[in-house]
Amino acid sequence: MVTLIIGKKGSGKTKKLIQLANEAVAKSSGNVVVVEKGAKLTYDVTHKARLIDTEIYGIHGYTMLLGFLSGICAGNYDVTDIFVDSTFKICPEATEGIEDFVKKLHDLSEESEANITLLISSAETDLPAGIKAVCEEI
């Protein structure tokens, strides 16, 4: 399952991600991964979740992020949840290409049986109509 948590900057998306990640760790029998740009969540997300800073690996854009997330799933069969903070900072294309990216993530999620949650700094009205079914506005 792919979920988008959307809202304008400062609307509480990251707090929601922290809450969801910590809850996922508590009930998961596998691994929870949190992908972020910069190491800003180190003290907020439980140490039992795997925190990954995209800047260390030079991840920029939807194609690289999809490959990176696919590699996480391929390298570790028991990933149950993946959370991506600041998606538009990692992927500066922003709304251009997001619909195709979300469709590919859906396929990855189905194949790997991992729940994938993206945080999007945008208003729902600014997103393509094709992905609104998976949006949760903050």
Looking up residue 53, the CATH number of its domain turns out to be 3.40.50.300
61 DSSP assignment = S
| Cβ(4)–Cβ(131) below 8 Å | yes
Q: How far apart (Å, rounded) are the C-alpha atoms in residues 20 and 25?
A: 9
Task: Please report, in tens digits, the pLDDT of each residue of the chain (138 residues total).
Answer: 888 888 888 788 889 988 999 999 999 989 999 999 988 888 788 889 999 999 999 999 999 999 999 999 999 889 999 999 989 999 988 888 898 999 999 999 999 999 999 998 887 788 887 776 665 554
Nearest to 138 by CA among 15, 31, 51, 45: 15
- The domain of 24 spans 2-137
Q: Which residues of 98-136 are buried (b: 16+ CB within 10 A; e: fewer)?
A: beebbebbeebbeebebbbbbbbbbeeeebeeebeebbe
Number of domains in the chain: 1
pTM above 0.85, yes or no: yes
